[in-house]
Amino acid sequence: VLQMNAGADPARNLDWIERRCRALPEGVGLLALPEVFAVRGPPQALRAAAEWLPGPMTRRLMALAASRRIWILAGSLVERGRGGRLYNTSLLLDRRGRLAARYRKLHLFEARLDDGRRIRERDTYTPGSRPVLVEIEGWRCGLAICYDLRFPALFAGYARQGADLLFAPSDFTRATGRAHWETLVRARAIETQAFVV
């Protein structure tokens, strides 16, 4: 799991990821990146960084996965879709750098923070339409992103399909993260009897 605090410059964020990946010890089979690993900032920065898949950021990660012979869970990037739609999308790349799965965040976050700011992902993103279960070398893996953690039915569905591992790359706000993050992760793990990354 590679923790990072991405900025508004996608090239710089990917440079940092590549340097860290080159320093991984031998034997690492999977690298998991956080939500919005490629660009983090106001909606205009997200829109500017949006790409059709596979775009420049995706291709860089594909090359990295292939060169290191590792799976990469690209926590989320901004996917450009038809009709001007944008999706908060998680990608799973295999050891050859091929796209093994794509998951578009189903549940979009909305909250009013203590300082009065309002966050509405729906103002930027379109929600996805389906859960995604994929196999990684014998492990059945359910894909989710951040706020999806608050919806146990998604994870229960993965459990019914035999999921061993659940991914929930996240960019939780400080306040809700401090109050709820660990509790939600533990709850989904206990309910499903699966590992949560």
Distance CA 74, CA 115 (A): 31
Radius of gyration of the chain (CA): 16
Residues with catalytic roles = 35, 105, 146
Distance CA 71, CA 146 (A): 20
Contact assessment for residue 180 and residue 139, using Cβ atoms and an 8 Å cutoff: no
Contact assessment for residue 166 and residue 197, using Cβ atoms and an 8 Å cutoff: yes
Question: What DSSP state is assigned to residue 179?
Answer: I
Phi and psi at 32, nearest 5°, equal -110, 125
Give alpha helix (H) positions in 23-78: 43-49, 56-68
